[in-house]
Amino acid sequence: MNNIIDLIKTRVSCPKLQAPAPNKLELEEILACAMRAPDHARLKPWRYHVVTGASLDNLGEVFVQTQQENMVSQVKIEKCRNMPKRAPMIIVAVCEPVDNLKVPKVEQLLAVGAGIQNMQIAISSLGYGSIWRTGDMAHHQIVKKHFNISQNGEIVGFLYIGTPDKQPSLSVLNLKEYVKHWD
Ligand SMILES: Cc1cc2nc3c(=O)[nH]c(=O)nc-3n(C[C@H](O)[C@H](O)[C@H](O)COP(=O)(O)O)c2cc1C
């Protein structure tokens, strides 16, 4: 069809990512794509935190702190510590909802989600891989505090970014199962 459609149709999430991550210029292009997400009333509710290098280790320690009130095994603690090291770069996508009579919080969360998707497509186009993750860490107060997120703010996703070690398989869905035409 065309290159952009082919790229979107063949994009896959990559759970295993290694160095290199996008360089500074590439990262700016990726973030610029996030800024072009559709956004009702142009509220710009998104905030992006780019985590690399020693800050990935720090984030691992923050994840460990979330387990302190639970009686968890050393294995679980090490799992939390190593989570951020599954990629050389993580972009933490945050929604800080703006009070607006016409635009509810759910629409603002969707705008940030659209920003993440724009970034995933840009990342693939540059030959890198990514995966959008959430899980318990996305909702934990300790993690939210680490990124100075307000009480009403949300982590919409941790976008893990790097170079895929292999291309995961692509599942192609049958349109007929999900689409009904009303002619
Ligand atoms: C909001 C959201 C949260 C997600 N959280 C996780 C997660 O925590 N862990 C995970 O392995 N995949 C998670 N996924 C799914 C992956 O990002 C990915 O979409 C899925 O593995 C399917 O792969 P594909 O994108 O190649 O079709 C999440 C997706 C979305 C949209």
- Residue 73: give its domain's CATH number: 3.40.109.10
End-to-end CA distance of the chain: 24
For ligand 1, atom 17, name the residue with the nearest CA.
132
Let me know if residue 6 belongs to a domain. Answer: no
Let me know if residue 8 belongs to a domain. Answer: no
Ligand 1 centroid–CA 182 distance in Å is 31
Ligand 1 centroid–CA 39 distance in Å is 22
- Total domains in the fold of the chain: 1
Let me know if residue 128 belongs to a domain. Answer: yes
Q: What is the pLDDT of residues 41-62, one digit of tens each?
A: 999 999 999 999 999 999 999 9
Instruction: Judge whether residue 1 has pLDDT over 80.
Output: no
Let me know if residue 2 belongs to a domain. Answer: no
In whole angstroms, how large is the CA radius of gyration of the chain? 18
Distances (CA, A) of 4 to 55, 97, 125, 166, 169: 34, 31, 9, 22, 19
- Domain around 110: 15-165
**C-beta of 135 in contact with ligand 1 (< 6 A):** yes
Ligand 1 centroid–CA 27 distance in Å is 21
Let me know if residue 138 belongs to a domain. Answer: yes
Tokens of 33: 């794509």
pLDDT of residue 43: 98
Q: What is the pLDDT of residues 62-85, one digit of tens each?
A: 999 999 888 889 999 999 999 999
Backbone angles phi, psi at 53, to 5 degrees: 55, -135
Let me know if residue 176 belongs to a domain. Answer: no
Q: Mean of the pLDDT values across residues 11-26?
A: 97
Q: Do the strands 17-18 and 46-52 form a parallel or antiparallel pair, or are they unpaired?
A: unpaired
